[in-house]
Structure 1
Amino acid sequence: MTNPPEHSPSDAPAASLITYPCQFPIKVMGIKPDQLVPALTHIAQQFDPGFDPGTVELRPSKGGNYLGVTLTVTATSREQLDELYRTLSTHPMVKVVL
């Protein structure tokens, strides 16, 4: 008789270091600064209906070609954050999401 295989720690779901719900800042770097903020705000509101566009922080690049944007959303789950990151990352004006 053989024993069932033991599960390694990598088989278990990773414990989250985030306690949900919480305010979670997401930094985005993108192009076309005049069109970027409305696009990002729209995406943030799809994942967080209570998102306040007044909390958006902006940091233009020296040359003015890029814009750093911090969106602070109410994170409710790991799945929500993962999907928000995927959606932001695939937007054509977005270069980097942190």
Structure 2
Amino acid sequence: MSADNNETLLEFPCEFDIKAFGRHGTSFEQVVYKLVKAHVPELTTDDLSSRESRGGRYIAVTASINAKSKAQLDAIYQDLTDSGQVLMSL
């Protein structure tokens, strides 16, 4: 068992959904795609789905990936957090 597995309940590799929230109308889907693709080279636009908020001001983008390690997930979430366009990520 690797050190990554000792720090999480996930077993890698595994399917994992990353969700990011931002303002609608700001090419937010492209921002999320570029940030996640930097860590998941095999990511395609078909791996993304999005949903607008009821009022249309915000958008949630979900990237479905095959996560390789906790370190990879941590790096993705750090890049999302550092982005000024991502309001929240799960």
Work out whether the TM-score is over 0.5: yes
Please give the range of the TM-score, normalised by the shorter of the 2 chains. Answer: 0.7 to 0.9
What SS class does the counterpart of residue 82 from structure 1 fall into?
Answer: helix
Q: In 2, distance between residues paired with 1:56 and 1:19?
A: 23
Q: In 1, distance between residues paired with 2:77 and 2:67?
A: 12
- Who is 1:76 aligned against? 68
Q: In 2, distance between residues paired with 1:33 and 1:21?
A: 34
Q: Given the alignment, which residue of 9, 23, 30 partners 1:17?
A: 9
Q: Given the alignment, which residue of 21, 29, 45 partners 2:37?
A: 45
One-letter amino acid of the structure 1 residue matched with residue 72 of structure 2: Q
- For normalisation by structure 1, the TM-score amounts to 0.79
User: Where do 4+ consecutive residues of structure 1 move more than 2 Å?
Assistant: 13-16
Does the 8 Å contact 2:15/2:65 carry over to 1?
yes
One-letter amino acid of the structure 2 residue matched with residue 20 of structure 1: F
- For normalisation by structure 2, the TM-score amounts to 0.85
Structure 2 residue runs without a partner (length 5+): none
Q: Matched residues, percent identical? A: 28
Does the 8 Å contact 2:16/2:67 carry over to 1?
yes
CA displacement 1:55-92 (0-9 Å, x = unmatched): 21111012211101111122111111011001011111
- Bigger CA radius of gyration: 1
Structure 1 residue runs without a partner (length 5+): 1-12
One-letter amino acid of the structure 1 residue matched with residue 42 of structure 2: G
Q: What is the count of residue pairs matched by the alignment?
A: 86
What SS class does the counterpart of residue 83 from structure 1 fall into?
Answer: helix
Does the 8 Å contact 1:29/1:66 carry over to 2?
yes
What SS class does the counterpart of residue 18 from structure 2 fall into?
Answer: strand
